[in-house]
Amino acid sequence: MTSILGCKNSRRAGRKASIYGIVALVPMYFLKDYVGQDFPPPLTHAEFFYGFTGVVLAWQIVFLIISRDPLKYRSLMLPAILEKAAWGVPVLIFYFWFGFLKIISASPAERRLVSFKILV
């Protein structure tokens, strides 16, 4: 049986993490142009940007619901883990296999070179 202290700690941690996620994601709805300027090329399909932001925000609300009663909503934890893995696994693959994430910190000339290597 799970202890009461363990439930309280998981509730607090889950609540804090989901509130932080919501606070961090809501401004994304207003940053479409900023993302296009600072990380070219500009966004041409806003529906993907807003769709991604909306889905991630919806999952933050699911995490908030789970944090209210972790024992009651433990069946939602498996899809929540899959949601996290759906982002984390491709990032690891791109980083270790393709070296793709190194492009972000590279100069524009290096970006073109690395992009060319990936495409060829």
pLDDT at 99 (0 to 100): 66
Rounded-to-integer distance, Cα 13 and Cα 18, Å: 9
Angle at CA of residue 86, ends 81 and 92, nearest 5°: 110
Q: Which structure tokens are listed for 19?
A: 């509130």
User: Among 58, 49, 54, which residue's Cα sits nearest to residue 18?
Assistant: 58
Instruction: Report DSSP state, residue 106.
Output: S
pLDDT in tens, 73-110: 888 888 888 888 888 888 788 777 776 555 555 555 55
Q: Which structure tokens are listed for 81?
A: 């883990």
Q: Is the pLDDT of residue 59 over 50?
A: yes
Question: Are residues 29 and 60 in contact, defined by beta-carbon separation less than 8 angstroms?
Answer: no
Q: Is the pLDDT of residue 61 over 80?
A: yes
Q: Which structure tokens are listed for 116?
A: 């060319």
Cis peptide upstream of residue 108 (ω within 30 degrees of 0)? no
Which residue type occupies 24? Answer: A
